[in-house]
Structure 1
Amino acid sequence: MSCLNYYVPLPTRAIAIIKELLTYEFTGQLYLLPHRMNPTDCISENTLNQGLKRMGYKDKLTTHGIRATISTALNEEGYPREWIEAQLSHVNPNQVRRVYKS
């Protein structure tokens, strides 16, 4: 399974919530939202999409759609493209540039 790592600055309240969630950590857990059968794996995109369906968003919203909407809104607001791409964990397709930007 391919898992993405996101590095996002968070407000104090969000950090407190995450610390609370981590008190329920499974042995070997590597991700905040682990796979239910193997805590060393992350949850899948389908898990998140199923959650959206259960909340009543079937055929209205997907995780990919949320990412696309956020990207569009931030671009329209004039945020630097590099910031948006970093928050979406997109990598630079230019491998040489990617090496020197890391």
Structure 2
Amino acid sequence: MDAVDPTIFRLAIFVLAIFVGYYVVWSVTPALHTPLMAVTNAISSVIIVGALIAAAASLGSAEGVNGWIAKGAGAVAAALASVNIFGGFLVTQRMLAMYKKKEKPKA
């Protein structure tokens, strides 16, 4: 029996992760959404630290192509994590605004 190609195996895991993530996120109650967004922002900040380290890393005096790939991937990861953090703060502010008492207009 032939073994499964590693690329197909990784693609199957990626697709399954998408489905599991979708159902996990959409089954969260609104009361838990704001604390989970705060945790997500904290995780993204750790990702930014790792991305900055990857972007600043050098492989010695002869970097070559691999050094530029690592720097580029680190820069892209930092940019995407920054967008994720910014969006998380916007969503958190919107969720908190839903719980504020609305002022009654003065007659």
TM-score, normalised to structure 1, is 0.34
For the pair shown, the structure with the greater C-alpha radius of gyration is 2
In terms of fraction of residues, the more helix-rich structure is 2
TM-score, normalised to structure 2, is 0.33
